Amino acid sequence: MLAVTCTSQSADDPLSGLTVGERPDPEVPEGWARVHVRAASLNHHDLWSLKGVGLPADRLPMVLGCDAAGVTDDGEEVVVHAIVGDPDWTGDETLDPKRSILSERHQGALAEQVVVPRRNLLPKPEAMSFAEAACLPTAWLTAYRMLFTQSGARPGDRVLVQGAGGGVATAAIALARAAGLTVWATSRDEAKRARALELGAHEVFEPGARLPARVDAVLETVGKATWSHSMKSLRQGGTLVVSGATTGSDPSADLSRLFFLQLRVVGSTMGTRSELEALLRLCASSGVRPVVDEQLPLAEAARGFARLVEGDVVGKIVLTA
């Protein structure tokens, strides 16, 4: 099968370890299923793997990719939940200490085939294309959990989304708007700020800009570059939800502000199978759809990765098999 594989790692030149080529078809363990991938989406996670973050070198070669939608050997159209955990674990899968996501321990989804435990399969909604469905399991699910499980934001509240162009950020903007929140967003780029308005943001700002008012919650994936602004933008008792740190993870904690304003800082990672089910229902009922920046054939994966490195993407890059 054709697959996009991490064959070596380099922090300075991550694309040097990206190999697109033939790999053996995967074996299907007992209780698992084969998915013939129709669409898979890129995530910043794939770049971290190529940089040597979160993927030990002794696991290479590793097929990249967390997100897929496709068709099983039995002909079911499915979306794949990316978290593979302890089969005996019950409850919130994101809290399973033995969990990993596809492409960390198990071969990933940027391939013509991926195998996953049967319980990781969810029916793909008919109204959603394979490309749209392939955007949901990581970026969109992460945004869903940040917003609806972790932030405490309710309809009518005001949220700030940092780094508007990103996969998680575009999802957060669209979902927050659909849920009746007032949505403010920042981006470094004027064109991305304009796009964020089209996607549902009520107002957009340059990074670090003084906001017209404080917000109830901030959704943060950028990290060091925006952290201080995130802390300053919260109202007393507000919540900063963080699920990523693209620009570095050692920001000043700003402890005085944290305790004096009684802020809450909440970590968030991926989402559960039942949150993915709820996200699928929300997309179906609201008409909200993932933002696909570009679709490319699997064989042209390198071009998609180059765009991700450049940071000129709004939403998701999808590879089709």
Which residues here bind ligand NAP, judged by CB under 6 A? Answer: 43-45, 48, 138-139, 142, 163-169, 187-189, 192, 207, 221-222, 225-226, 243-247, 269-270, 308, 311, 313
Q: How far is the CB of 123 from ligand NAP (least distance, A)?
A: 23
Strand, helix or coil for residue 217: strand
Would you say 10 or 262 has its CB closer to ligand NAP?
10
CB of 127 to ligand NAP, least distance (A): 24
CB of 245 to ligand NAP, least distance (A): 6
Please, which residue, 225 or 278, has the CB nearer to ligand NAP?
A: 225
Nearer to ligand NAP, 48 or 300 (CB): 48
Query: Helices 167-178 and 190-199 sit at what angle, rounded to 10 degrees?
Result: 30
Report the distance separating Cα 58 and Cα 48, nearest Å. Answer: 16
CB closer to ligand NAP, 122 vs 199: 199
Min dist. Cβ of residue 292 to ligand NAP (A): 12
Under 8 Å between Cβ of 102 and 232? no
How many angstroms separate the CA atoms of 131 and 256, rounded? 45
CB of 260 to ligand NAP, least distance (A): 27
Rounded Cα gap, residues 67 and 81, in angstroms:
8
The smaller minimum CB distance to ligand NAP, of residues 94 and 113, is found at 94
Strands 2-6 and 18-22, sheet pairing:
antiparallel
User: Tokens representing 250?
Assistant: 């050692």
Nearer to ligand NAP, 228 or 269 (CB): 269
Q: Give which of 168, 152, 279, 303 is closest to 223, Cα–Cα.
A: 168
Look up residue 213 and give its two tokens.
């008012």
Cβ atoms of 207 and 187 closer than 8 Å:
yes
Report, in Å, the least distance between residue 195 CB and ligand NAP: 9
Nearest distance from C-beta of residue 153 to ligand NAP, angstroms: 18
Q: Which is nearer to ligand NAP, 113 or 138 (CB)?
A: 138
Name the residue with the smallest CB distance to ligand NAP.
244
Rounded CA gap, 24 and 27, in Å? 9
- Answer whether 318's CB lies under 8 Å from 290's CB: no
Q: What's the rounded Cα separation, in Å, for the pair 8 and 56?
A: 10
Longest CA span, the chain? 58
Backbone dihedral angles phi then psi of residue 101, each to the nearest 5 degrees = -110, 155
